Amino acid sequence: MVLPHYRKYSYLAFEGDEPNNVAKGQWEVTDSPMSRWLTADGKPSPAAVTSNLANRHALTELPPVFSSERMMQDIEFLASQQMAGRELGSKELSQAAEYIAQAFKQAGLKPGGDEGESYFQRWQHDFKGEKGKRPLRNVVGIIPGYDPAYDKESVIVSAHYDHLGRGWPDVHKGDEGKIHFGADDNASGVAVMLELARQIAGQWKPSRTIIFIAFTGEEAQRVGSKYYVKNAIRYPAKKVMGVVNLDTVGRLGDNPVTVFGIDSAREWIHIFRGIGFVAGIKINSVSNDYGFSDQKSFIDVGVPGVQLFGSVHQDYHRPGDTIDKIDAQGLVKIATVLKEAVEYLANREEPLNVTIKGSKNSEQQKSTKPQAGRKVSLGTVPDFEYQGKGVRITGTVAGSPAQKAGLKEGDIIIFIKGTNVKNLNDFAKVLRGMKPGEKTTVKYTREGKTLSVDVTVEER
């Protein structure tokens, strides 16, 4: 018996009752202009077909699903000079909220705010100090779910739209008073979120409700997402299937799409591995790091969430985060990954298996003013693809203590200030406890050897 085969072999032959495979092989290509036979030394054989196929266009071309031009237009507005960095409490941030709400409406999202046909979730927050009490707004739009079996269940797509203005609440030494444009952080995330809304609002009928949220106050200890978690009424946080948050996705380049928060549900690693295969996009799933953006507010109350991220760069929280450095085609890749993840979550029959460890209690969420971030810098650029012990770096900031100390790409920091460094969280925790001008010893490995160097950390 001979069977045609469509994978490794053209045919397989069997005999007997077992049966036993007695022959296998590939059909010979006889006269195809798409084949070229070569001799043992790699030269065309005399019998090779010498005709060449003429270049021609494909019979049809599918239109692109996502528009990089539209996303760049969104970023151009949000990160423009006139928006002055979208500082919390500013009129420019209010203009950004109106822009996003209008985009939600034009896309066909239904209002998801507190009142009637409003896209806004409004409240007052007391920041104490120089900011005092401020009115805040999250911008919320929804695609209603169509399956009553998942009533009030939701999937959240989010991105924060605030930034640092002229340096509040986080500013590097020497950048005081300068506009922090925030093109990558996080006009890019908002742009990708809006583009997905435009593409699916009028086409999808998801089983679960999909909620699009532009959060305010992420730069001030995530006050916007924390408020939503505690005060969402129509679609309560405890019934959220999962969160896909977009933050700093505008400079992907040749890097894989990084996904933080993979450890918050058992299925995340498989979901994004599958997306990578289907979309042909490299994905770096980071374990043991939930990230520090708005998905963390949901993780803290037991809701699985992930953050899509582009790449590390030296313009983070600096005036140099401008639109001319945005990778437009990278935005399309991010949008593609986002779409696949959201479509799966919105229609999956079973809930995700939550694997969150050590969720923080609500006391941290009751804080009324931004917590102080770290005030010192070593000047290392972390490698988020590294999953081993320690912190591997991809380089150093020019003129930084790390560069002066001779640290370079590929070094793995394993010890600083009397503390063994297991991961990036350990490293960041030590730096948060240090003061500008403080001296310490850093141990690191390079090409299998353990080395040490004394450094003096500087003010950020």
The CATH number of whichever domain residue 107 belongs to comes to: 3.40.630.10
**Residue 326 near residue 75 (C-beta atoms within 8 A):** yes
pLDDT tens track for 78-108: 999 999 999 999 999 999 999 999 999 999 9
Q: Is the pLDDT of residue 32 over 70?
A: no
CB 457 within 8 A of CB 376: yes
pTM for this prediction: 0.78
Residue with tokens 């423009």: 80
41 occurs within a structural domain = no
Secondary structure letter of residue 44 according to DSSP: B
Residues 314 and 400 in one domain: no
How many domains are contained in the chain? 3
Amino acid 5: pLDDT: 53
Same domain, 345 and 451: no
Q: Judge whether 381 lies within some domain.
A: yes
Residues 134 and 263 in one domain: yes
Q: Please tell me whether residues 352 and 266 are part of one structural domain.
A: yes
Domain-ending residue, one of 366, 387, 409: 366
Residue pLDDT, tens place only, 305-362: 999 999 989 899 999 999 999 999 999 999 999 999 999 999 999 999 999 976 543 3
* Predicted confidence band of residue 259 (pLDDT cuts 50, 70, 90): very high
Tell me, yes or no, whether 44 lies in a domain. Answer: no
| CB atoms closer than 10 angstroms to residue 458 | 18
Closest among 244, 241, 245 to 147, alpha carbons compared: 241
52 domain residue, yes or no: no
Which domain does 170 fall in, by range? 68-366
Asked whether residue 382 falls in the same domain as residue 310, the answer is: no
Say what the pLDDT of residue 362 is: 35
| Whether residue 197 is found in the same domain as residue 266 | yes
CATH number at residue 454: 2.30.42.10
Q: Which of 319, 344, 366 is the last residue of a domain?
A: 366
Q: 233 phi and psi, to 5 degrees?
A: -105, -55
Element (H, E) at 450: strand 449-456
Q: In this structure, are 129 and 213 located in the same domain? A: yes
User: Angle at the Cα of 378 (from 377 to 382), degrees rounded to 5?
Assistant: 105
From 343, 374, 240, 234, select the one nearest 294 (Cα to Cα). 240
User: In this structure, are 336 and 203 located in the same domain?
Assistant: yes
Does residue 385 share a domain with residue 358? Answer: no
454 located within any domain: yes
283-285 and 240-246 beta bridge pairing: unpaired
Separation between Cα atoms, residue 120 and residue 59, nearest integer Å:
47
Taking phi over 0 as left and psi of -120 to 50 as alpha, with beta for the rest, 13 belongs to beta
Residue 246, pLDDT above cutoff 50: yes
105 with 28, same domain: the answer is no
Write down which residue in 314, 338, 366 finishes a domain: 366
For 232, the token pair is 């969402």
User: Are 170 and 278 part of one and the same domain?
Assistant: yes
Residue 46 located in a structural domain: no
Q: List the alpha helices (DSSP H) in 45-179.
A: 68-78, 91-107
Same domain for 342 and 449, yes or no, is: no
